[in-house]
Amino acid sequence: MTDAALDSFNQTIDINVKGTYLVLGAAIAAMSTQEPLAVDATLPARGVYRGAIVNFGSIASFLALPKAAPYVASKHAVIGLTKSAGEFSRFLFV
């Protein structure tokens, strides 16, 4: 971490974290206007959905890697954003 340039760290955060955040926001906004579909028409108790959002992680989403602190931090953040968006959408789309 002592060798890492702040510009490189910021670029990694901008791409992986801010990029994911912006795409999540746009996707949730678009999905909120869609008509809900039954998960299973034969089992109404399973509820409805409006689609799925897939975010990409890597092994760095779960483990620390040597000499990769900015990347590891950004991928940990992507997991946090994904979990938060999932919880948010559970209440938004009810």
Q: Which residues are catalytic?
A: 71, 75
CB proximity list for 31: less than 8 A, separation 6 or greater: 50, 51, 53, 89, 93
What is the rounded distance in angstroms from the CA atom of residue 52 to the CA atom of residue 30?
A: 12
> How far from each other are the two terminal CA atoms of the chain, in whole angstroms?
44
* Token pair in block for residue 17: 């974290």
Sign, CA dihedral 62-66-57-85, equals: positive
